[in-house]
């Protein structure tokens, strides 16, 4: 799960969204951290290899049931 401040910045309204954008514009270190952490999450959970392995596991499990 993506965490606020670690992988993403969460904003629940227009004002908070604008504040988050400004914060990102001003804070290069935060931008880089979010980029790196977000990339890791996507690669670990949603890469083609991960999706393929999960789908293969699911299909094999379904075949065993029948």
Confidence class for position 21, pLDDT limits 50, 70, 90: very high
Q: Can you say how many angstroms the Cα of residue 30 is from the centroid of all Cα atoms in its chain?
A: 16
E strands present in 1-66: none
pLDDT at 53 over 90: yes
Report helix angle 28-46 to 48-65, nearest 10.
Answer: 30
Task: Look at residues 22, 15, 19, 20 and name the one whose alpha carbon lies nearest to residue 4.
Answer: 20
The structure's pTM equals 0.71
Give the residue-averaged pLDDT of 44-60. 95
Sequence-ordered list of residues with C-beta below 8 angstroms from that of 18, at least 6 positions apart, any chain: none
pLDDT at 1 over 90: no
Residue 33 corresponds to which tokens in the numbers above? 């951290």
pLDDT at 30 over 90: yes
The confidence score (pLDDT) of residue 31 equals: 97
The confidence score (pLDDT) of residue 65 equals: 86
Q: What are phi and psi of 6, to 5 degrees?
A: -105, -45
């Amino acid at each position: 799960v993506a965490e606020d401040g670690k992988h993403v910045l969460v904003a629940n309204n227009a004002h908070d969204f604008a504040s988050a954008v400004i914060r990102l514009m001003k804070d290069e270190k935060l931008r880089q951290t979010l980029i790196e952490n977000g990339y890791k999450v996507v690669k670990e959970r949603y890469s083609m290899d991960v999706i393929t392995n999960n789908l293969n596991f699911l299909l094999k499990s379904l075949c065993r049931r029948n």
